[in-house]
Amino acid sequence: MKKEYVISKEDALMIVDVQNDFLPGGALPVPEGEQVIPVLNDYAKMFKKAGAKIFATRDWHPPNHISFKAQGGPWPPHCVQQTEGARFSPALKLPEGTEIISKATDPAKESYSGFDGTDLAAKLKAQGVKRVFVGGLATDYCVLNTVLDARKNGFDTVLLSDATRGINVKPGDVNRAIEQMTAKGADQATLENFPDSLETPIDEEHAAEAIADKPLSKLEIKRKARMRPRGPYKRVRTER
Ligand code: VGL
Ligand code: ZN
């Protein structure tokens, strides 16, 4: 039977690192990373409507961060504080009241998790949050470690698997990350597991299609729209 989640004030949405450098044209692009944006916009709208908390984490490195190749780390320089690459994607619609959590700000320390070196756990607990839903970039680094830390901090945790993409430095990394999260008790969900999302009204542009093609559900119509080679996320980073 399909699981159905009902969002309440005791839930939080965690949007992990949807920053220009992790998107096409960025310094460390995650394959298909742009595909998470319209899905996360739907989740954000849904969580906002339900009165749930919304957090957006960002990788926020100093220019000499230990994870950069010049310092002997594995990554090209990315998400350097105050740069265009560190900004959230302009296509990401963060609802009013979204709390921003900056992480990995210490030059000498890598922190993939949004909980590591931040007050995220304290904030969630102070606000009575019991369950967190996590999506964003990248599945095999910051999403993985944020989910594992959410479990360590005692939160019920759900990976939004349609709203995350990974790097796969080694083939299979993403699958192994999902196995690790599942082994620690994280559940997995997609938009189909949120009955509320099906009530999202379709827009004018796609109304004709809805009538012409009756067997498609509203959710499927939205999905089809996302597959087209155009849309708000096509504009990401074209300014370069
Ligand atoms: C990340 C690699 C390096 C992430 C951050 O956000 O998943 N990955 N820094
Ligand atoms: Zn980083």
Q: Which residues does ligand 1 sit against, CB inside 6 Å?
A: 17, 59, 67, 75, 112, 137-138, 141-142
Q: Provide, rounded to the nearest whole percent, the portion of the chain with pLDDT above 70.
A: 81
164 beta partners: 136
Give residue 229's pLDDT.
46
Tens digit of pLDDT for each residue in 100-120?
Answer: 999 999 999 999 999 999 999
CA distance 168 to 184: 21
19 beta partners: 88
Fold category of 11-191 in CATH: Rossmann fold (3.40.50)
Tens digit of pLDDT for each residue in 116-175?
Answer: 999 999 999 999 999 999 999 999 999 999 999 999 999 999 999 999 999 999 999 999
Which atom in ligand 1 lies closest to the alpha carbon of residue 75?
A: 3
The domain limits of the chain are 11-191
For every residue of 74-128, DSSP letters joined together read SB-S-SBTTSGGGSBPTT--PPTTPEEEEE--STT----STTTTSSHHHHHHHTT
- pTM listed for this prediction: 0.84
Structure tokens at 86: 């560190």
- Catalytic residue from among 79, 142, 149, 162: 142
E-only strand ranges, the chain = 11-16, 53-59, 99-103, 131-137, 156-165, 187-189
Instruction: Respond yes or no: is residue 79 known to be catalytic.
Output: no
